[in-house]
Amino acid sequence: MKIHILSVGENIYSTQRLVDEAENRGHHVRVINHTKCSVKLGKGRPQIIFEGRNIINDPDVIIPRIGASVSRHGAAIVKEFEMNGVFSTARSLGILRAQNKVRTLQIMNRKNIPIPQTVFSINPRNIDEQIELLGGPPVIIKLQEGTQGLGVILAESKKSAKSIMDTFYNMNTSIMLQEFVEESNGEDIRAIVVGRKVVAAMKRKGEKGEFRSNIHRGGTGESVQLSEKEKKIALRATQYLSLPVAGVDMIRSQRGPLLIEVNASPGFQGIEAFTKVNVAAHVIKLLETNVRQKFQKRTRRNSRK
């Protein structure tokens, strides 16, 4: 099987883990820096040009590892592979949906998946109203396209919330407000979905005095058993976003689990370390299953001719 991993660097932990597991299972794997790919459209078949040659027909499958800063270009590259019949562990539409937190929550809310109370607006003149819609402070202010805990701020008073929001609005930055779920106690849950199964889950807790639980922000983690409701939320969320592989973040509240975010390119380092689950191997096995099923379907079609 020929696998292309779309990643900006071979030395990134998650990328290297995928390379190692693919090679250990006898596959040919290549890391493609999607930021250095060009797409040619027009006369003739579409092309994806990388290092001077067309690679659109090279892989059997691709694994997008698309960062937030280049999500639109990365999704466009994924889309060209998709339209050429290549299986992807993250659909182009899913990458774009997951990158925008508001769009993700709109879809989840429409599908009756529980989420925190959320408000988004671009009107700087009704900041008081926005805060009151959540029952007043404290509130969490988030950048709509932040990542790894960046752009997530806890405003403990109306005065501080108004000051922060006013600053963001003057910078023409898209934000949203969410209720502060005090009982979550600075903890959240990251579940990794591969195919139609939750393969690993960990509880993350922020440093003392830090309400953000991201490992990149100095948080710690431990393996955790999910409830059936939490598993169902994780699986439904990835299904609705067209993400065969994804990280789903949830918090536990007095009214049950609440989905807060879906990550189309979840990191493996923290969750593999804390759960001892070989997440990268699960991803490669998913690719093997897909290619095997695709080959079997093609064989059956040819036998009927």
CATH of domain 98-113+184-282: 3.30.470.20
Cite the beta strand spans of the chain per DSSP E.
Answer: 2-6, 28-32, 38-40, 47-50, 53-54, 61-64, 87-88, 118-119, 139-143, 152-155, 175-179, 187-194, 197-205, 220-223, 245-253, 256-263
User: In angstroms, rounded to a whole number, what is the distance separating the alpha carbons of residues 45 and 175?
Assistant: 40
> Domains of the chain: which residue ranges?
2-90, 98-113+184-282, 118-180
Q: What is the pLDDT of residues 93-142, one digit of tens each?
A: 999 999 888 999 999 999 999 999 999 888 878 888 999 999 999 999 98
The single-letter code of the amino acid at 217 is R
Render pLDDT for 19-66 as a digit per residue (tens, 0 to 9).
999 999 999 999 999 999 999 999 889 999 999 999 999 999 999 999
pLDDT tens, position by position, 229-248: 999 999 999 999 999 999 99
pLDDT of 268 strictly over 90: yes
Tell me the CATH number of domain 2-90, given options 3.40.50.10440, 3.40.50.20, 2.60.120.260, 3.40.50.300.
Answer: 3.40.50.20
* CA–CA dist 235, 262 (Å, integer): 11
Across 148-174, average pLDDT: 85
Dihedral, 151, 156, 157, 160 alpha carbons, nearest 10: -30
Which pLDDT does position 207 carry in this prediction?
67
* Full-model pTM: 0.88
Q: Does domain 118-180 have CATH number 3.30.1490.20?
A: yes
